[in-house]
């Protein structure tokens, strides 16, 4: 590592410094191109790919801890002495949400204070300690405390991953790389479900399920030590030469000047400590923060997590074994995420969001129809299952992966980390209340009315996207910032 640093430093000295670049007016903008890796076109995507893959381990952990208690919950409740207590079982499932809200709330300040790499490593610490406590727990209280600690790491990691992937990716593959986050989350959920399969046959297997999560967490902490720091964060901190070094690692030497000059157009190295909460809710930043918080709110009000949490009930009614229920949903989620990855930098973010929310509204319509024609017997049940799988698939095409990618793109460098923390906090709050109130609302209103409400929110989301969301495909972060933050906004 030391030899590598000396080599990079010596290569930087042979070029003009970042200050000279910023002061000069003779630089050219990076020419558009279609051949990756050419000096006169796009930078090589291979340079930034390893850094992005390491960052998405935190999303894998997020998905794993979301799904890790689904299969083992009954065994956990029997072993720890709260079997049949639905409130205690619900707390074991949802305690992560409370911890995630706390971790997410402070993620922006942590990411801006110690950097993206150190924030990743910090997020791993409570996940390792919490998983260890859960695996060795002998009481409900110990299990809940472990789950809460895991949740704080879950809340901190994903917002930082969205920031990091956006800031280290070349513009022409930023959408594809952003989709890796959703794919990693899906793989984490599926991995947790697969590892949980032996829990009914092997006594104490649920402890193994928690121990397994320690391995990718430790791997993330170790590998992040060798990854690049975000050059956007370094530039914002005034560490210009280090920003040049990291740009060279991520983009190649021939693209350093254009990258630094792009940053200098919109970001003058403002002191991040001057960003106050009020700056996010008024003035020239209000529009982008409003778009971000509303997108995450509508994402959750669509009912997606209600589907994830309670899908097994519908599958059991259709005669599908409960062991396969969540796996089917997970595979639909993964399939949609892979398709989104392939289309993100071709169709663009806005088109995928529009198509996704419209498709989700149609799927909820199928659910409502299936619930209202119960006299048809099994046909309605299979219609309901089909509608659920279609809902998850279309969610994964856009409404799932796009907000986490789009928001770091539209937020200015000065407020990016803190604005992401605010928007993700809104996500966790609404997620909590949807999960808490879904079954009660289902009893009071019935499935037809509830699914119609969810479908209506999907249509509202489509209208909102059509009127407010800008297309960011292929644009640099600085081009997006300049287009959105005009003086009259």
Q: What is the pLDDT of residues 41-58, one digit of tens each?
A: 788 888 999 999 999 999
On the 0-12 / 13-18 / 19+ scale of CB atoms within 10 A, 111 is buried
pLDDT score for 427 = 86
403-462 confidence digits (pLDDT tens): 888 888 888 877 888 888 888 888 888 887 876 777 677 778 877 888 899 999 999 999
Q: Taking each helix axis from N to C terminus, what angle separates 107-114 and 116-136, rounded to the nearest 10 degrees?
A: 130
Can you say whether the dihedral through the CA atoms of 140, 141, 143, 148 is positive or negative? Answer: positive
Q: Distance (Å, rounded) from C-alpha 210 to C-alpha 94? A: 16
Integer distance in angstroms from the first to the last C-alpha of the chain? 46
- Judge whether 178 and 405 are in contact, CB under 8 Å: yes
Model confidence at 311, in pLDDT bands (50, 70, 90)? low
Q: Distance (Å, rounded) from C-alpha 405 to C-alpha 384? A: 31
pLDDT score for 321 = 64
pLDDT score for 271 = 47
Provide the token pair at 440: 């009660």
Bridge partners (DSSP) of residue 36 are 42
Mean pLDDT of 18-33: 38
Q: Domain spanning 43-227: which superfamily?
A: MFS general substrate transporter like domains (1.20.1250.20)
Three-state DSSP state, 384: helix
If you search the block for the tokens 């390792």, which residue do you land on? 128
pLDDT score for 275 = 61
467-485 confidence digits (pLDDT tens): 988 888 877 777 777 666 5
pLDDT score for 379 = 65
Three-state DSSP state, 296: helix
pLDDT score for 134 = 94
pLDDT score for 473 = 82
Per-residue pLDDT at 189 exceeds 80: yes
Domain 43-227 and domain 230-271, same fold? Reply is no
pTM reported for the whole predicted model: 0.78
Model confidence at 274, in pLDDT bands (50, 70, 90)? low
Mean pLDDT of 133-160: 93
Give the whole-number percent of the chain exceeding pLDDT 70. Answer: 81
User: What is the CATH code for 230-271?
Assistant: 1.10.286
pLDDT score for 74 = 82
Q: Distance (Å, rounded) from C-alpha 282 to C-alpha 65? A: 36
Mean pLDDT of 65-93: 83
Provide the token pair at 423: 């928007």
Q: Where are the domains of the chain?
A: 43-227, 230-271, 275-489
- Judge whether 248 and 12 are in contact, CB under 8 Å: yes
pLDDT score for 23 = 38
Per-residue pLDDT at 18 exceeds 60: no
Q: Distance (Å, rounded) from C-alpha 220 to C-alpha 465? A: 35
Please determine, looking at this structure, whether the domain spanning 275-489 carries the CATH number 3.10.450.50: no
Give the whole-number percent of the chain exceeding pLDDT 90. Answer: 34
DSSP 41: S
Neighbours of 305 (CB within 10 A): 19
- Judge whether 212 and 136 are in contact, CB under 8 Å: no
pLDDT score for 327 = 75
- Judge whether 410 and 470 are in contact, CB under 8 Å: yes
Q: Distance (Å, rounded) from C-alpha 380 to C-alpha 178? A: 37
pLDDT score for 362 = 93
């Amino acid at each position: 590592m030391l030899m590598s640093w000396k080599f990079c430093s010596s290569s930087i000295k042979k070029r003009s410094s970042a200050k000279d670049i910023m002061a000069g007016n003779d630089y050219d903008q990076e020419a558009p191109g279609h051949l990756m890796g050419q000096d006169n076109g796009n930078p090589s995507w291979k340079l930034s790919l390893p850094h992005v893959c390491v960052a998405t381990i935190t999303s894998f952990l997020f998905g794993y801890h979301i799904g890790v208690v689904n299969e083992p919950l009954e065994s956990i409740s029997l072993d720890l002495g709260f079997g049949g207590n639905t409130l205690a079982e619900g707390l074991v499932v949802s305690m992560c949400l409370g911890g995630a809200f706390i971790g997410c709330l402070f993620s922006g300040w942590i990411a801006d204070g110690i950097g993206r790499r150190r924030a990743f490593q910090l997020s791993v610490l409570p996940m390792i300690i919490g998983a260890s406590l859960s695996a060795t727990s002998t009481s409900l209280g110990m299990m809940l405390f472990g789950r809460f600690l895991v949740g704080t790491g879950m809340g901190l990691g994903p917002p930082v991953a969205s920031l990091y992937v956006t800031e280290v990716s070349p513009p022409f593959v930023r959408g594809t790389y952003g989709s890796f986050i959703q794919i990693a989350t899906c793989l984490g959920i599926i991995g947790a479900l697969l590892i949980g399969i032996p829990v009914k046959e092997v006594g104490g297997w649920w402890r193994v399920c928690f121990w397994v999560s320690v391995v990718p967490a430790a791997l993330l902490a170790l590998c992040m030590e060798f990854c690049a720091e975000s050059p956007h964060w370094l530039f914002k901190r005034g560490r210009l030469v280090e920003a040049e070094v990291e740009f060279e690692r991520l983009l190649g030497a021939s693209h350093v000047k254009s990258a630094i000059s792009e940053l200098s157009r919109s970001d003058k190295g403002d002191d991040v400590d001057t960003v106050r909460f009020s700056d996010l809710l008024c003035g020239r930043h209000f529009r982008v923060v409003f778009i971000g918080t509303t997108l995450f709110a509508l994402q959750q009000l669509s009912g997606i997590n209600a589907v994830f949490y309670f899908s097994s009930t519908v599958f059991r009614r259709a005669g599908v074994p409960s062991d396969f229920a969540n796996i089917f949903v997970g595979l639909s989620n993964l399939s949609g995420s892979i398709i989104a990855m392939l289309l993100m930098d071709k169709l663009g973010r806005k088109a995928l969001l529009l198509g996704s929310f419209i498709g989700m509204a149609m799927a909820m319509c199928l659910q409502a129809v299936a619930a209202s024609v119960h006299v048809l017997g099994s046909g309605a049940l299979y219609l309901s299952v089909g509608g659920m799988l279609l809902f998850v698939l279309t969610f994964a095409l856009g409404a799932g992966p796009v907000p986490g990618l789009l928001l770091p793109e539209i937020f200015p460098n000065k407020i990016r980390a803190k604005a992401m923390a605010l928007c993700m906090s809104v996500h966790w709050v609404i997620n909590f209340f949807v999960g808490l109130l879904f079954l009660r609302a289902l009893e009071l209103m019935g499935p037809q009315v509830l699914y119609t409400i969810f479908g209506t929110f999907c249509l509202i989301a489509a209208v909102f996207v059509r009127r407010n969301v800008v297309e960011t495909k292929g644009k640099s972060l600085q081009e997006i910032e300049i287009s959105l933050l005009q003086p009259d906004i």
